[in-house]
Amino acid sequence: MTDICVHGLGYIGLPTAAIFANSGFEVVGYDIDRDVVRSLQDGDIHFEEPGLDQFVNKAQKSGNLVVTTDVEPAETHIICVPTPFDTETKEANLDYVKSAGETVRDNLREDDLVILESTVPPETTEQVLQPILERSGFKAGEDFGLAHCPETVLPGNMINELRENDRIVGGITEKSTERAYQLYDSFVESDIHKASNPSTAEFAKLIQNTFRDTNIALANEIAILAHGYGIDSRESIDLANEHPRVNIHHPGPGVGGHCLPIDPWFLGHNSDDLNIISKSREINDGMTQYIIKLLQESLGTLSGKKISILGVAYKGNVGDIRQSPGLKLARELQLIQSDGQSQSPMEGTGVDIGIHDPHVSDQTLNLESLDMSISNSDVCVVTTDHDEFKELNPEKFNSLMNGNLIVDTKAILDQQWWENHGFDMIRI
């Protein structure tokens, strides 16, 4: 008998299925995408994550993990499907959650446990998923268990984070909560916190990422203000953080990834009361335009200039480009006409863009080698804090660039070293 059926084999579902399988459970990994399932059956992982291919292959070779396009009855169903963000309405699309709920409903048995892991707006488990499941004729909390246990992992270290990060579980009854707690306790090495209900667990996950996004927005506004005063914002932040009750994050080119730019909006899915949160989103999303403003202040018109962008992954040392500030900057620069005004993407561009990222292999991007991307460039903008970029040598840039301006949005370069080699450096 199958212990666990994981619905959705993406960034969260696949490592979740593998870690349960490697913890001794019999797991079925289900996905509607036949290409994804076929790839996994052949031993190939469909996204980049260090060590995950060996981890998944180990689970499959043990016989504890089977990936398929067919759902099987299981004691526990874990839903890890996407919740796409609608950029126009600023709301979550819950179609995948609803569809997964219908699939679980058709396979639901008495005493089964259903856990929603997908990041969702508050009340989704109880107001969206529960009614779908109860169309089976079973009642949640009495005939089957229902809980929410949000994921809290970052790409690049998923397996360790699944084990080592604290988790939150919230069931619709104490029994549902306890069953979910015992399940995750099989591999989680840190604390598992019990929420009073699924909506509280949903809300807690969202405000974790909202806190980080809002804190970064504060740092970014500080950076903009400090620039006007000629002050190094990072030095000021470090000094401010010497106070035991102050912990300001550092500024940068914006916020990327699938969580921080999106989760804050989920809080407003059924509410009109977002204020500081929506303003923080506006500040962070506006940092690419602020970078363009800095470039224009230094270079005048950007018409005819070549701008090299180093880093299109959304964070250092990973290949994930979701909501990437570097890509956002490139696209906004490509909308600049020869007269320096904004234009539509179809009208051509007056700016030449060179893009380099040693961790990204996306064939749809016009990625170049480091030498090609900086060759004849007027300015180089560092937008991702990869380790490789920390060791960049200004002598190479001197020999290949036309200009001498470096914009270090992550403050990872040795400013004095680069300035000693004749570069003008702007840091955020």
Active site members: 205, 259
Neighbour count for residue 269 (Cβ, 10 Å): 17
Burial of residue 73 (number of CB atoms within 10 Å: 0-12, 13-18, 19+): middle
**How far is it, in rounded angstroms, from Cα 329 to Cα 118?**
29
Q: Which amino acid is at 28?
A: V
Per the structure block, which two tokens stand in for 192? 């598992």
Structure token pair of residue 96: 């995948």
In the structure encoding, which two tokens stand for residue 42, read together? Answer: 């052949």
CA 368 to chain centre: 24
Q: In sequence order, which residues have a C-beta less than 8 Å from that of residue 152 and are 6 or more positions away? A: 161, 165, 166, 167, 205, 208
Q: Which amino acid is at 102?
A: E
Q: What are the tokens at 59?
A: 């689970």
As to burial, measured by CB atoms within 10 angstroms (0-12 exposed, 13-18 middle, 19+ buried), residue 287 is buried
